[in-house]
Structure 1
Amino acid sequence: MLVSVDQIFDELLNRESLFINKRVLSHDYIPEILPHREAEIQKLAYILASALKGGKPSNVFMYGKTGTGKTAVAKYVLKKLIERGERLGLHFKYAYVNCRYRKTNYRVLVKICEEIGCRGLPETGLPADVIFDKIVKYIDERDQLVVIILDELDWLVKTSGDDILYQLTRINNELNKAQVSIIGITNDIKFKNYLDGRVLSSLSEESIVFRPYNSEQLYDILKQRAEMAFREGVVTEGALRLAAAYAGREHGDARRAIDLLRVAGEIAEREGASKILEEHIVKAVDEVDKDIIGATVRDLPLQEQLVLLAITVLKALGEQQITTGKVKNTYEKICTYLGYSPLSLRRLNDILSDLETLGIILAPVTSLGRYGRTKLISLEVDLKSLVKIFLEDSLYAAALSEFVGEEAIQKIVKAK
């Protein structure tokens, strides 16, 4: 029997929630203690400490896979620096920009302006150098140190080049009273290979590498968050261990572990359970995986989506050995069909590497004997999920229908 919306709301309001503070399970929550990141915190603190004596801290690059604590450590140490600065009468500020969602130079500069308090700029319309000049003027008028955090910086450089990064590394030459330092965050260890020599020489950066968490470390993180997020005794030991094991088995992603715990709590609450059990973690895995795949694919730049669509088409057609050449051929056909200009083979290979870094595909290089070497490409995510995501877009849906066929698509979508 179907239940009315009002009944659902009434049931939720009358039942005691398993949660006491769900916010601590969000990605942007920074706890007072960051377990198992003491060494990284210490290194960044030493680098930034020179600001307390009026010096300009070195620029910093932080490397590590998703969910290894890079952003949390950067924000945590800067928060402490600002607090100490206030007690000493020093003015510090930081601007945080996630370049994955601000992929153009203009939008990055506008976000920096907003973060430092220089507001009222249009999202489009002004030349980028005008926005940059406004940033310089605003910062210098306030005699302060500003640290600019460029999170997922590789997305900006790959999409829009490194001109803005070069300008930011040279910004101190235009400042008389204030100073700027940069913290670049990336999960691409080869990131510096994409930078022009002039940018590299201007950076003068120090590096901090974040290793993935292991299952025991993830358990400690989850235990800390569970004690803050849920009523006492709600989360079972088995559920914590299982969530840590799932996240540790892939690449030690603390964000994924925390997402699993949050979603498991939501599932347990919907089911009217009084405790979060291992079975709720198992159910959460399916939900979280679907959300992660969808968000990742939708956020990809256009050309990366087109390459992934080509791989999806080949897989849907039952292709057993997907090589770089086959992907290139299918990708070019899709580009022609949709009216886009295809990229070169070199850029296609770069995109395949990016998709592999994101965990969407595997693309090991294989020797074909006298025929040379190629990448053998396989999907690391569920074909059905990918097809459903591409069907959300009318253009991609039309391409799937053209190159795979409507009957085959429906068979994939309806498969259990």
Structure 2
Amino acid sequence: MENKSLDGLFEDLLQNESLFKNKEVLRPSYTPASLPHRTEQVNTLATILVSALRGDTPSNILIYGKTGTGKTAVARYVGIELERKSDDINIECSVLYLNCEVIDTQYRLLANLAKHFGEDIPMTGWPTDQVFTKFKEAIDARKQVIIIILDEIDKLVKKGDDVLYNLSRINTDLENAKVSMIGISNDLKFTEFLDPRVKSSLGEEEIIFPPYDAEQISDILRQRASIAYKENVLDEMVIPLCSAFAAQEHGDARRALDLLRVAGELAERENETHVGEPHVRRAQEKIEIDRIVEVVRTLPTQSKLALYSVMLLRNNGYRNVTTGEVYNVYRQLCVNVDMDVLTQRRVTDLISELDMLGILNAVVVSKGRYGRTKEIVLSVPIESTRRVLLEDYRLGMLAGFKPVITAQMHL
């Protein structure tokens, strides 16, 4: 009976007219046919990579810029066009894209590369040298130019730069194939952690992507909206508002596209025929909550315990809690989950880190002759944050925990 009613719900929902023509256009994975306000970067990258069409090895390139400045879109766009042109003139050229946030170890990176060229490599178990040898043998079987795009390359570097050292010198071991690398990073300082030899060979060329301003983001949104949405469903203030919100986030076009998509999804769920300003404002709140929830999910356990301590005090009627009060509850939680109890100074540091992440707001206040302390106010929605914290198997047993409130802890 329940399944039948759910089937009926889906039928009803399918009757609602969609506001979208092609929602995928608003996702980060989409590579547009043209890139507004990135002509200079496209031309610079194409000028460096054109040597691949002559059968030569292009210089290695590092691409820098904040999140949502078009780095990945430009690299993938130029890569697609390069492969298309190489087919036209019968030059064998492959452009491989790998995201190092997902493929974040030397072994997995080499295994993925080798698999692209037909090598059946297990995802674990082989010596890394053996995987690297298989990759070299696979690509050197014929004349070809291979360009490897390593997006979020700094995530890979955090686990060591051996693979970059080997790849940057691979051409000396090859007779037929030629390999070039493009590294993409949001972190301008990540090369400080590289071996100087890797740094010099990897950064033969550098391209910097500046943030977009609100007007440029509006142009990008108008271009995508014309493909993504049906005609006349966006109110005139939707795109300017999405642009204004994203411009506050250091010119993040990805954030603007997310806002434009989520606003449409919210309007659809309410069976509206138009997307308006209220939908954009609610989309902004939803995305911000989703971002914070994801940050909370990835916190270390000790930080989660400190945050849960604040939430328990809040649920017990506290408004502005102090670090001393948090530490009292934190110690009780540690005993219950059998975790080491950190010093009060270290827990105060964890609270400062949570403040920097925007999860809570900690303000230093003077207590006169009793010294200074921090008063802490939560900046996150309590119920959704609590659910995320209790998802952690170590904290799950604290669901019904009630702290002992001592006399010194006052409201």
Contact 2:25/2:228 (8 A) holds in 1: yes
User: How does 1:206-285 map onto structure 2 within 5 Å?
Assistant: 206-285=205-284
Q: Output the amino acid matched with 2:126.
A: L
SS in structure 2 at match of 1:241: helix
Q: Is the 8 A contact 1:239 1:276 kept in 2?
A: yes
Distance in 2, matches of 1:394 and 1:43, equals 50
User: Which digits, 9 at most, give the CA deviation of each residue in 1:96-146, with x for residues without a partner?
Assistant: 1111112222112222233x3335322211121111111111111131111
Separation in 1, partners of 2:293, 2:122: 30
Aligned counterparts of 2:392 and 2:222: Cα–Cα separation in 1:
40
Whole-Å Cα distance in 2 between the matches of residues 169 and 307 of structure 1? 40
What amino acid sits opposite 2:304 in the alignment? Answer: L
8 Å Cα contact 2:289-2:381 kept in structure 1: no
List structure 1 segments (4+ residues) > 6 angstroms apart after TM superposition: 378-381
Name structure 2 gaps, 5 residues minimum: 314-319, 341-345, 365-373, 404-411
Structure with bigger helix share is 1
Deviations 1:238-259 (A, max 9, x none): 1111111111112221111111
State whether structure 2 residue 174 is matched by structure 1 residue 179: no
2:149 corresponds to = 149
Deviation (angstroms), 1:9: 1.5
The unaligned stretches of length 5 or more in structure 1 are 340-344, 367-375, 409-416
- 5 Å-filtered alignment, 1:8-407, equals 8-114=9-115, 116-158=116-158, 160-296=159-295, 298=297, 305-306=300-301, 308-309=303-304, 312=307, 316=311, 337=338, 382=380, 384=382, 386-397=385-396, 401=398, 406-407=401-402
The one-letter code sitting in structure 2 at the alignment partner of 1:148 is: I
Distance in 2 (alpha carbons) for counterparts of 1:54 and 1:380: 58
- Which letter does structure 2 place at the counterpart of 1:282? R
1:312 touches 1:383 (CA, 8 Å); kept in 2? no
The code of the aligned residue for 1:21 comes to N
Q: 1:43 to 1:196 in 2, by over 3 A?
A: same
Shift in CA distance, 91/305, structure 1 to aligned 2, threshold 3 Å:
farther
Q: State the 1:296 CA deviation.
A: 4.9
Alpha-carbon shift at residue 290 of structure 1 (Å) = 2.9
Q: Which deviates further from its counterpart, 93-102 or 282-291?
A: 282-291
TM-aligned CA deviation for residue 226 of structure 1: 0.8
Deviations 1:159-184 (A, max 9, x none): x2111111111111111111111111
CA separation in 2, counterparts of 1:337 and 1:280?
A: 45
Contact persistence 2:217–2:256 (CA under 8 A): yes
Contact 1:62 1:183 in 2 (8 A): yes
| CA–CA separation in structure 1 for the residues paired with 2:358 and 2:173 | 43
1:286 counterpart letter in structure 2: E
- RMSD (CA atoms): 3.6
CA contact (8 A) 1:93 1:145 kept: yes
- Which amino acid letter does the alignment assign opposite residue 282 of structure 2? K
Amino acid at match of 1:60: I
Q: In the aligned structure 2, how far is the partner of 1:206 from the partner of 1:320?
A: 51
| Distance across 2 between alignment mates of 1:244 and 1:41 | 23
Aligned-residue offset at 1:30? 0.6
CA drift of 1:272 comes to 1.0
Identical positions, percent? 42
Counterpart contact for 1:149–1:185, Cα < 8 Å: yes
SS in 1 for 2:29: coil
**Residue 282 of structure 1: CA displacement?**
1.3
TM-score, length basis structure 2: 0.79
CA distance in 1, matches of 2:25, 2:271: 22
Q: Distance in 1 between matches of 2:216 and 2:192?
A: 32
Post-superposition CA distance 1:211-239 (Å, at most 9, x none): 12121111111111111011111112211
Partners in 1 of 2:268 and 2:291 — Cα distance?
Answer: 22
SS in structure 1 opposite 2:63? strand
Tell me which amino acid in the other structure corresponds to 1:94: V
How many residue pairs get aligned? The number is 370
Query: What is the Cα deviation at residue 94 of structure 1?
Result: 1.6
Instruction: Tell me, in whole angstroms, the C-alpha distance in 2 between the residues paired with 1:36 and 1:380.
Output: 39
Instruction: Tell me which moved more, 118-127 or 47-56.
Output: 118-127
Per-residue deviation, 1:313:
5.5
**Which amino acid in structure 2 is aligned with residue 287 of structure 1?**
K
Q: Is the contact made by 2:55 and 2:144 (CA closer than 8 Å) also made in structure 1? A: no
Higher Rg: 2
Aligned partners of 1:145 and 1:178 also within 8 Å: yes
TM-score normalized by the length of structure 1:
0.78
Relative to structure 1, the CA distance from residue 32 to residue 138 in structure 2 (aligned partners, 3 Å threshold; closer, same or farther) is same
Deviation at 1:81, TM superposition (A): 0.9
Asked whether the equivalents of residues 296 and 304 of structure 2 are also in contact (C-alpha less than 8 Å), the reply is: no
Q: Distance in 2 between matches of 1:287 and 1:66?
A: 19
